[in-house]
Amino acid sequence: MAWGPPPARVVIVGAGQGGFQAAASLRQEKFEGEILLIGAEEGLPYQRPPLSKAYLKSGDAEALNLRPAAFFEKNDVTLRPGTRVTSIDRDAQRVQAGGSEIPYDHLILATGTSNLRPTIEGLDRALDLRTLVDAQRLRVAMEDAERCAVIGGGFIGLEFAAVARGLGRRVIVAEASDRLMARVVSPEMSARFADKHCEIGTELALGRTVTSVSSGGIAFDDGTEMPADLVLLAAGVRPNDDLAREAGLACDNGIVVDATLLTADPAISALGDCAAFPDPRTGRMVRLESVQAATDHARAVARRLVHGTEDPYAAVPWFWSDQADWKLQITGFGRPQDDSVRTENGAILRFDGEVLSAVETVNDAKTHMKSRRLMAAALTDPGAGLVRDRLASVGYDLLAL
């Protein structure tokens, strides 16, 4: 995109973590045009991470808001909650929402993800955990549930399981893969967390496929049944890329964007959970579901729109998950096939070939933060080489570097 004056009117579709941050960052960068933030959910933009953690215990919905209503007035951001964008007319640069046509000079898609609904009989009995409304429903259901069954042993399912156990419920987690959080963490970390969940009294059903949900509980493909009076579905998500796809934009596991988070249409950017972008370390197309990606993407898009900055997006991914009294922290991201090396202090280093791809730690903020700094430095200076030989020479102790 040739540098031109900033657009007069930016429309943001999706008022979640990334959409909100884009609006806030545009103002921080001194954007003087109009900002319209359109969100399908009711209420103020809020943070999702506590939905499977503190909120389940406290029920304090107000504490979730990213900013109070006054923030939007003060920063002249027009928020349209409870409004779904139904189509994009790229030629006319307009979106259709709630029966009206809304023009844009630049459009930011921050539509997030939706829960995957695998083909399981009776699945409409299972609850979801993606939105505040979901979490409110789940909290109520948990009050008089004695036995909770969770379909899916990923971060959200396990965080919920740990909270439910903490509240004294009987909990079973069913996971089709043979290990927990398999898509993201190393086999060693999966095993450590499996032990932890067993230790706090959660039953794990690994490598087991749930085939039906009924009022009595869940049933597996081998015919066995587990009684449950609450069933949570947490079996992954899919990107909300339908709007973009219908508008003729390329989508492949998310809305395809370039290293500046721009789609093939110079008037449309995409960010956060719904965007497939080139990973700064490898150039491979990836899609991340994290607060870090949503907020760092949003800041990069704001800088580009206001100042014409076209530096490629270059932020190191980080992520956390709180399960019982364990905080898992991850820097970078590994693929299932990446090797892993366990260090003396318990951190796990993952390698993509010879190069460090991720660092997994539990309750070890020091190593986590050090790995973030090291991996950030390696991004801008490949000579800083976080390679196996060099790390092996210090016993894989990142704090020694």
Ligand X SMILES: Cc1cc2nc3c(=O)[nH]c(=O)nc-3n(C[C@H](O)[C@H](O)[C@H](O)COP(=O)(O)OP(=O)(O)OC[C@H]3O[C@@H](n4cnc5c(N)ncnc54)[C@H](O)[C@@H]3O)c2cc1C
Kindly list the residues in this chain that would bind ligand X in the complex (CB under 6 A). 13-19, 38-41, 48-49, 51-52, 84-85, 110-112, 129-130, 156, 240, 243, 272-274, 289-292, 294, 319-321
Choose the binding region for other proteins from 110-118, 199-207, 244-252, 361-369 (rule: CB under 8 A). 361-369
Work out how close the CB of 125 gets to ligand X at its nearest, in angstroms, rounded to a whole number.
20
Work out how close the CB of 381 gets to ligand X at its nearest, in angstroms, rounded to a whole number.
26
* Residues in CB range of 220: below 8 A, 6 or more apart: 174, 205, 208, 209, 210, 211, 226
- Decide the pairing of beta strands 94-97 and 268-270: unpaired
* Residues in CB range of 351: below 8 A, 6 or more apart: 338, 339, 340, 341, 357, 388
Outline where 125-229 has alpha helix (H).
132-143, 155-166, 187-199
Residue 145: alpha-carbon gap to chain centroid:
28
Helices 291-307 & 17-28 angle (0-180, nearest 10): 30
> Toward ligand X, which CB reaches closer, 21 or 190?
21
User: Residue 18, interface with other proteins (CB under 8 A)?
Assistant: no
Distance, CA of 6 to CA of 329 (rounded, Å): 37
Neighbours of 79 (CB within 10 A): 22
- Residue closest to 395 by CA, chosen among 357, 363, 353, 347: 347
Work out how close the CB of 215 gets to ligand X at its nearest, in angstroms, rounded to a whole number.
25
Q: Which does 80 bind (CB under 5 to 8 A by kind): ligand X, other proteins, none?
A: none
Choose the binding region for other proteins from 31-39, 59-67, 151-159, 223-231 (rule: CB under 8 A). 59-67
DSSP for 278-314? E-TTT--EE---SHHHHHHHHHHHHHHHHH---PPP-
Binder among 43, 61, 67, 341 for other proteins (CB under 8 A): 67
> Toward ligand X, which CB reaches closer, 48 or 343?
48
Binder among 47, 96, 209, 345 for other proteins (CB under 8 A): 47
Q: Which does 130 bind (CB under 5 to 8 A by kind): ligand X, other proteins, none?
A: ligand X
Work out how close the CB of 87 gets to ligand X at its nearest, in angstroms, rounded to a whole number.
9
Q: Which does 243 bind (CB under 5 to 8 A by kind): other proteins, ligand X, none?
A: ligand X
- Within residues 279-318, the interface with other proteins by CB under 8 A covers 291-292, 295, 299, 318
User: Residue 350, interface with other proteins (CB under 8 A)?
Assistant: no
User: Residue 330, interface with other proteins (CB under 8 A)?
Assistant: no
User: Residue 82, interface with other proteins (CB under 8 A)?
Assistant: no
Contact 112, 254 (CB under 8 A): no
Work out how close the CB of 62 gets to other proteins at its nearest, in angstroms, rounded to a whole number.
8
Distance, CA of 21 to CA of 31 (rounded, Å): 13
Work out how close the CB of 6 gets to other proteins at its nearest, in angstroms, rounded to a whole number.
20
Q: Which two tokens stand for residue 340?
A: 């892993």
* Contact residues for other proteins, defined by CB under 8 A: 47, 49-50, 62-63, 65-68, 70-71, 74, 291-292, 295, 299, 318, 320, 322, 327, 329, 365-366, 368-369, 372-373
